[in-house]
Structure 1
Amino acid sequence: MASRKWYKLVLIGRKGDGKSATGNTVLGEPLFQPSVSANSLVCVDKTSDHPLTSSNAKAKTSQPPLTSSNAKVTVIDTPGLFNTDIDKKDIESELSKIFDFEFIAKDGGIDAFLFVLRIGRFTAELRNTIKYCQELFGTDVMKYSICVFTGLDDLEFDGDNFQDYIAQLPEDIAAMLPKIRLSINNRAKDDLVMQAQRAAILQAVDTHRNSTKKYTYRKLPRESSMKCKPDTKDVFGKHCTEITPTIAGPVTLLSYKKQEL
């Protein structure tokens, strides 16, 4: 019997760009709550209970699924970067806990970061967000990432299309972003559209991991002063965190809680 596919994904990006909603699209149901992941790390581990459809959302005919119906998908949602409601040190501390998960530290690493950006103007904050991700996860982090643009519905409402939008990327941003880029509408009401978007993301992950090794753990700064080199490989100790599992039907939710000192 063929082994079950397992997708291990980490959502990163700015507050308000749709990270949690994108995680829900990948999982196929609303399991992430932005109010929770805005301040702390949240991991949802789910086994798909229905086949995925073709990436062509307009096709109504039945087609062979792109991914087996029992694929396992694990998604880690992270606090939004440049969230002014949270101290920078607390954001970095939460991000470092990604590597406390045993399946990340010991089982081959992360298949892909989903770098979530909302379609809009290309600002200095976008450039700073990319650079900040490189500081945190290493200068080559975008090589291990897939760029997911949200807000496709707004773009189409204005009569534009994603290909033309990408063609307008400033050269410096285009060079910094991941090479695999796709756009989604997290507010779509049509189940076939949502399934197709989910299939497209996981198909992009398949394409990505066929061409790139998994991202293995790297040491993130405990302090915002960046005392350690971003490319130093290490696993953080668990002296400041504990993992509390909560079982809810077929979904395992893992959330971190700080220990009382």
Structure 2
Amino acid sequence: MAGVSKAPELRVIVVGKTGGGKSATGNTILGEEKFVSDVSPNSVTRKCEKKEGDFRGRKITVVDTPGYFDPDRGNKETSRIIRDSVEVLDPGFHAIVLVLKLDRFTPEEKAVADEVQRILKVKARDYTILLFTRKEDLRGRPLTSFLAKANEDLKGVVAFCGNRYLAFNNLATGAEREAQVAELIEMIDKMRQVNPNAPLYTREMFKEDSLFDCCTLL
């Protein structure tokens, strides 16, 4: 890729709603069942978990986070844990992957997106990718056809993420799974190309973002 060399290692954090497919997405990226993924009304991921894998010779580190709207934990507590995860993967992340289920954009999904945007307000916008799970529900239709019918709230989330979006079928294996991960990695590398002097979202950037909403971490 012109203008920037490929990072020998990619660091990714996955955030989203409980039951939205965060852990399954992490497993798809890594190509192994490294995170516990199960159908449950409560968040299976209770704290930040870091797992490592390899994709076509590149090391990939994924941090899975507890989900928002967990009946056992408030959203502010989840935001604190996400804040702490920035230190788990020092010196930072190449990408923040916001996971949403490919479905009707409900008020709860909007609240999750609003909360993520609230704690990742300014600098993080340059590192955030919107990833829809349940790609299989498109039944071969392009993702753009789904988004063309989206309401203004969802379109606002897409804009916040710099119009960087894709969809995963987390049941996919083999070539289909590889193609999905390759698409995500290419998107991350393009983000690095746009901002080659600051390829990572760092603790310092997070602290700067937090200044715009001093109540977030109280």
| TM-score normalised by the chain length of structure 1 | 0.68
1:91 deviation in Å?
Answer: 1.8
- Output the amino acid matched with 1:191: G
Q: Distance in 2 between matches of 1:131 and 1:140?
A: 16
Residue 133 of structure 1 corresponds to which residue in structure 2? 116
Is 1:186 matched with 2:170? yes
Residues 38 and 78 in structure 1, CA contact (< 8 A), matched pair in contact too: yes
Instruction: Please report the RMSD computed on the Cα atoms of aligned residues, expressed in angstroms.
Output: 2.7
Higher helix content, 1 or 2: 2
In structure 1, the residue corresponding to 2:167 is in which secondary structure? strand
Give the CA deviation at 1:26. 0.7
| Equivalence for 2:13 | 10
- Higher mean Cα deviation, 36-45 or 23-32? 36-45
Structure 1 residue 4: Cα displacement: 6.1
> For the structure 1 residues 141 and 131, does the alpha-carbon distance in structure 2 shift closer, same or farther, using more than 3 Å as the test?
farther
Shift of 1:119: 0.4
Q: 2:211 aligns with which of 213, 226, 229?
A: 229
- Return the letter of the residue paired with 2:49: V
Q: 1:160 deviation in Å?
A: 4.3
Deviations 1:36-72 (A, max 9, x none): 8521110112344xxxxxxxxxxxxxxxxxxxx3211
Quick one: which of 131, 134, 156 aligns to 1:175? Answer: 156
1:77 alignment counterpart: 64
Contact 1:134 1:140 in 2 (8 A): no
CA 1:192 to 1:26, structure 2 compared with 1: closer, same or farther past 3 Å? same
CA distance in 1, matches of 2:182, 2:122: 29
Give the conservation status (yes or no) of the 8 Å contact 1:41–1:77.
yes
Identify the match of residue 24 of structure 1 among 22, 27, 41. 27
1:215-251 CA distance string (max 9 Å, x none): 222249xxxxxxx63468xxx9xxxxxxxxxxxxxxx
1:146 aligns with 2:129: yes
1:134-165 C-alpha deviation (Å, 9 max, x unpaired)? 22222453432111111111221xx7442210
- State whether residues 68 and 74 of structure 2, in contact with CA within 8 Å, keep that contact through their aligned partners in structure 1: no
Structure with greater Cα Rg? 1
Stretch moving more, 119-128 or 33-42: 33-42
Match for residue 88 of structure 1?
75
Normalising by structure 2, report the TM-score: 0.80
Output one character per residue of 1:89-140: Cα deviation in whole Å (capped at 9) or x when no partner: 4323322221222x52xx3x21110111110112222222121012222245
Name the counterpart of 1:119. 102
Aligned residue runs from structure 1 range 40-51, under 5 A: 40-48=47-55
Listed one character per residue, the Cα deviations across residues 180-200 of structure 1 (whole Å, up to 9, x for unaligned) are: 111111012x41111111111
Q: Specify the SS of the correspondent of 1:34.
A: coil
The structure 1 segments of at least 4 consecutive aligned residues displaced by more than 4 Å after TM superposition are none
Q: Take 2:84 and 2:69, find their aligned partners in 1: how far apart are those partners?
A: 18
Partner Cα separation in structure 1 for residue 35 and residue 115 of structure 2: 24
Number of positions where the alignment pairs a residue of Structure 1 with one of Structure 2: 199
Q: Contact between 1:137 and 1:231, CA under 8 Å: does it hold in 2?
A: no
Unaligned 5+ segments in structure 1 are: 49-68, 221-227, 237-261
- Asked if the contact 1:117/1:149 (under 8 Å) is kept, the reply is yes
Structure 2 segments unaligned to the other structure (5+ residues): none
